Amino acid sequence: MNEKIETERGEEFRDSLATVTKEGKRKWIYPKKPRGKFYNARSIVAFFLLLFLFGAPFIKIGGHPFIILNVIERKFIIFGIPFGPQDIYLFALAMIAVIVGIFLFTVVYGRLFCGWICPQTVFMEMVFRRIEYWIEGDASRQKALNNAGLSSQKFFKKFLKQSIFFSLSFLIANTFLSYIIGVDKLYKYILETPAQHPATFFAVLIFSALFYFVFSYFREQACTIVCPYGRLQGVLLDPDSIVIHYDYKRGEPRGKIRKDSSASDGDCIDCRLCVDVCPTGIDIRNGTQLECVNCTACIDACDEVMEKIGRPKKLIKYASKNEIEIGKKSKFSPKATGYTLVLVALSAIILFLLLNRSEVKLNVLRSPGMMYQEQPDGRVSNLYDLKIINKSFNTLNVSLSVDNIKSAEIRLIGNDLKIEPQGVTESKFFIILPKDEAKFLKIPVKISVKADGKILDAVQTSFLGKVN
C-alpha cells in the first residue's frame, strides 16, 4: 500500500471486504464486461490453454496417450514418456522445482499466473462469465434481472444459464477423468450404463457439482478465501515485484473532470470504472491488495478512460512499487536471484536424471538367510531374488549376465524373462562360480540385464564364497 494514499485518504478500505456487506452477508459482485487489448490478449491465451486442456487427452504418440495422470494405479505418461512408482524421486524433484519456480515467478512477476493461466480465472472469466454476459447482459442488466420478480423471461434466462453451467461442469469433470483413465476407457464407460461403474460415475457427479458450485456461486471467493497461493502473496512480493499498480503520483489528487481543471489536478477522474470491472470488487487505487488477481481488467478500463479524456494511458499498469514511488525500474532482487540459482540447479539435476533414465529397472538381492551352496561338480553358488521393471511401451525379452567375472554362470529358476509393457517380473536365479573364484568371503559381482545385446540396467551386489 502506498503511503501517500494511506495518509491522504485513510485506510477505511481495510475495515471491510468488497464481497461482504456490513451485516456480514455475501455481497454479489457484478463486474462490468471488460474490453481492451489486455482482455483480447488474455482471450487468445485462454483459447490455447482450453484447447490444450480439452485436446491433450485425445493426442496419441505411437498409439499411446500423450498425457495420463493415473494416480490410482500410479501410472503416468507425460509428453509421451511413461513413468511409474519407481520414478517417484523424479516427481519429488519436479514438485520442488515447480514450487521454487512459482516462488521465483511471483517474486519477479507478481500474480501473472493468476490473471493469465490459472484454471479458476480462465474458466471463470473467459468461459462462465462470458456465457453470463451473453444470456443476462452486462453488469447493470444482471443486477436488474436479479432484483426483478419472477417472470417467464427471468426463469428462462436463469434456467438456460444454470443448465449450461452444469453441462460445462460435467464436461470439465469428464475431461479431468480422461486424464486419469484415458479417453478410450472414458468412451467405453460412456457407452456403458452407470451401474457398470458406479464409483466412477458418482465421482464424476461429485466433481461436476463441485465445479458447478465454484463457477456459478462461489466464484471470486475461491481466489480471495480458499486459494493458498493467494495467501502467500504477502511473503512473496517485494518492492521490485511487477504487479498491477495504480500510479498514484500521476493520479492524485483525484477528482471529477472539470472545465477549469488545473495542471495540479491528478489524472484520475474518479469515474470508478476500474472498480466496476474488477471481478473481486476491489479498488486498485488503494494499492496492492491480496484480493487482486492481476486480471488486467482495470488497466483496460482506465486506458479507455484516459484515451477519451486525452491523457496518457497507463495510469493503471504493470509496474513495481519502486517504479511507481521512486521511478526505479525493476531489477532482480537478492531474493529472486537466490530462487533462480536453486531453480537452475534443480532443473539441471532433473534434466540429467531424465536423460540418464533407463527403460528398465533391475533389482537384485541375495536371498535372505541363505549361505553359499556347493554344487555336485564342486562349484559354488548363491541364490538371488530378482525384480525387473519394464518402464517402456514394448514387451522385453531380457537376459542376465555377470559382467566382472567371466567364468560366472547364471542359472534362472523358472521360465525365460519376458516382461510386458510397463510390467514387472519377479524371479530367482543362481550365480555359480568355479571353486577357485569363490574362495573369498565376499566377492563383488556386477549383474546387468540385456535385451538384443544392449545393456539396459546394471547393479552391484556380492557373492558369499567358501573360505577354507
Q: How far is the CB of 308 from ligand SF4 (least distance, A)?
A: 10
Q: Which of 26, 60, 141, 272 binds ligand SF4 (CB under 6 A)?
A: 272
User: What gap in Å lies between CA 57 and CA 69, rounded to an integer?
Assistant: 10
Q: How far is the CB of 99 from ligand SF4 (least distance, A)?
A: 24
User: What gap in Å lies between CA 466 and CA 342, rounded to an integer?
Assistant: 51
3-class secondary-structure state, position 319: strand
Q: How far is the CB of 153 from ligand SF4 (least distance, A)?
A: 31
Binding of ligand SF4 by 433 (CB under 6 A): no
Measured from the CB atom, is 120 or 296 closer to ligand SF4?
Answer: 296
Task: Report the site for ligand SF4 in 281-310 (rule: CB under 6 A).
Answer: 282, 284-285, 292-298, 301-302, 305
3-class secondary-structure state, position 186: helix
Q: Is 157 exposed, middle or buried (0-12, 13-18, 19+ CB in 10 A)?
A: middle
Q: Which of 94, 97, 274, 360 binds ligand SF4 (CB under 6 A)?
A: 274
Binding of ligand SF4 by 277 (CB under 6 A): yes
Binding mask 216-255 for ligand SF4 (x = CB under 6 A): ----------------------------x-x----x----
Question: Interacting stretch for ligand SF4, rule CB under 6 A, among 21-29, 84-92, 269-277, 460-468?
Answer: 269-277
Question: Interacting stretch for ligand SF4, rule CB under 6 A, among 178-186, 189-197, 273-281, 380-388?
Answer: 273-281
Q: How far is the CB of 193 from ligand SF4 (least distance, A)?
A: 45
The partner residues of 417 in beta bridges, in order of sequence, read 398
Binding of ligand SF4 by 324 (CB under 6 A): no
Q: How many CB atoms lie within 10 A of CB 252?
A: 19
Binding of ligand SF4 by 257 (CB under 6 A): no
Q: Kindly give the interhelix angle for 129-136 and 152-181, rounded to the nearest 10 degrees.
A: 160
Instruction: For cell 545393456, name the residue.
Output: 455
Q: How many CB atoms lie within 10 A of CB 70?
A: 15
Q: Which of 280, 286, 330, 390 binds ligand SF4 (CB under 6 A)?
A: 280
Whether residue 447 contacts residue 429, with contact meaning beta carbons closer than 8 Å, is answered with no
The partner residues of 463 in beta bridges, in order of sequence, read 443
Question: Interacting stretch for ligand SF4, rule CB under 6 A, among 183-191, 271-279, 335-343, 402-410?
Answer: 271-279
Q: Which residues contact 68 (CB under 8 A, 6 or more apart)?
A: 75, 76, 77, 179, 180, 182
User: What gap in Å lies between CA 335 and CA 420, rounded to an integer?
Assistant: 48
Size of the site for ligand SF4 (CB under 6 A): 29
User: What gap in Å lies between CA 294 and CA 301, rounded to an integer?
Assistant: 14
Interaction site with ligand SF4 (CB under 6 A): 244, 246, 251, 268-274, 277-280, 282, 284-285, 292-298, 301-302, 305, 315-316
